[in-house]
Amino acid sequence: MTKKILITGGAGFIGSHVVRRFVNNYPRYQIVNLDLLTYAGNLENLKDIEQKPNYTFVKGDIADADFIQSLFAEHNFDGVIHLAAESHVDRSIMNPLEFVMTNVIGTVNLLNASRRLLESKPDFLFYHISTDEVYGSLGKEGFFTEETRYDPRSPYSASKASSDHLVRAYHHTYKMPVVISNCSNNYGPNQFPEKLIPLALYNMLQNKPVPVYGKGENIRDWLYVEDHAVAIDLIYHKGTTGETYNIGGHNEWRNIDLIKFLCSVMDRKLNRPTGSCEKLITFVKDRAGHDLRYAIDASKVKNELGWMPSLQFEEGLEKTVDWYLNNTEWLKHVTSGEYKNYYDSQYHKR
């Protein structure tokens, strides 16, 4: 069946893997990738598919209501997969308003434009991609389920929680067909080197200090990005309207253990003496309000849709390291602009 699907944030980390999957696997779909190309968006991530006849890129800001209305007037979308967001917690601590503009206002603009399509498109679907951070922080035990009460604690997670609530409100109030998924930490190719794994890897490559916040005892549940893209594909096609699905890797690591493991992989790949990269580990001031632990119970998506992560962490990390070592030009490009300014000034402006 032909469909025209809008994917927002498709030039970013996860979005680029989702766009590639949909363009390649569904040649009868028309995929429109809408992205503002902020510091985190890079069309080099999609070089291999940009000439495909079922792919179109549009540059634009989801926070611009007029622009979004005109885009929806031009394209008769059958569905939206919404990934565009400001995504980095540390940046949200420095500039919360930017996160409200993109993550909250941007989502409302897309919901409003989608609402107008409902009468003519009863099968329309608005799929909102969200995060496990909306559930707050866990102690040593337990997992986030779809029933866990929302308790966002950073400006980033508060903006994502707000957008989740708005998506549910449009479902309840206007009967908009929606689905939401909340995923744990992703890693893999194309991730901007400000997040833990690519930043540490990038600094190890350059023999620079590898910052570990606090004592490195915080725990995250890591998932290879292509496994997330597979889950998104399944949920888009087979998920139940109005439902939420948690997605996670069953793969918890303390930050310090993960970084030490990455050090051992990098020593091997770079032919450095054992222990070289570990010497770069530098404990730095903790993140304000740092959530202790995230861990997802992904049994609903497993039981209802048959999704499971396909890669062991060791395999996924190996693939990730190989990708970064083979794509040093990409690293050079993405770190040459805003990123450098941000780290120089510790402040980011659009």
Nearer to ligand DAU, 40 or 110 (CB): 40
Interaxial angle between packed helices 196-205 and 255-269, expressed in degrees from 0 to 180 and rounded to the nearest 10: 40
Residue type, 257: D
Q: Of residues 169-188, which lie at the interface with ligand DAU (CB under 6 A)?
A: 184-185
Nearer to ligand NAD, 33 or 203 (CB): 33
Nearer to ligand NAD, 219 or 280 (CB): 219
Q: Does 73 bind ligand NAD (CB under 6 A)?
A: no
**Residue of 35, 61, 98, 133 interacting with ligand DAU (CB under 6 A):** 133
Q: Tell me, letter by letter, the H, E, C secondary structure of 236-296.
A: HHHCCCCCEEEECCCCEEEHHHHHHHHHHHHHHHCCCCCCCHHHHEEEECCCCCCCCECCE
**Residue of 5, 6, 9, 89 interacting with ligand NAD (CB under 6 A):** 9
Nearer to ligand NAD, 267 or 338 (CB): 338
Selection from ligand DAU, ligand NAD, none that 162 binds (CB < 5 to 8 A by kind) is none
Minimal distance in Å, beta carbon 333 to ligand NAD? 14
Q: Does 15 bind ligand NAD (CB under 6 A)?
A: yes
Q: Does 150 bind ligand DAU (CB under 6 A)?
A: no
Q: Does 167 bind ligand NAD (CB under 6 A)?
A: no
- Letters for 122-141 (x = contact with ligand NAD by CB under 6 A, - = none) are -------x-x----------
Q: Of residues 284-343, which lie at the interface with ligand DAU (CB under 6 A)?
A: 287, 294
Nearer to ligand NAD, 102 or 280 (CB): 102
Minimal distance in Å, beta carbon 30 to ligand DAU? 28
Of 86, 98, 133, 227, which residue is the catalytic one? 133
Minimal distance in Å, beta carbon 335 to ligand DAU? 14
Q: Of residues 38-97, which lie at the interface with ligand DAU (CB under 6 A)?
A: 87-89
Annotated catalytic, 64? no
Residue type, 200: A
For residue 156, which of 132, 125, 139 has the smallest C-alpha distance? Answer: 132
Q: Decide if 75 contacts 4 (C-beta within 8 A).
A: yes
CA distance 176 to 82: 15
Q: Does 158 bind ligand NAD (CB under 6 A)?
A: no
Phi, psi of 251 (to 5 degrees): -150, 75
Q: Does 213 bind ligand DAU (CB under 6 A)?
A: yes
Phi, psi of 225 (to 5 degrees): -60, -35
Q: Does 220 bind ligand DAU (CB under 6 A)?
A: yes
**Residues of the shown chain interacting with ligand NAD in the complex, contacts defined by CB under 6 A:** 8-9, 11-15, 35-38, 40-41, 61-63, 83-87, 102, 106, 129, 131, 160, 183, 185-186, 192
**Residues of the shown chain interacting with ligand DAU in the complex, contacts defined by CB under 6 A:** 87-89, 131-133, 184-185, 195-196, 199, 211-213, 218, 220, 255, 287, 294
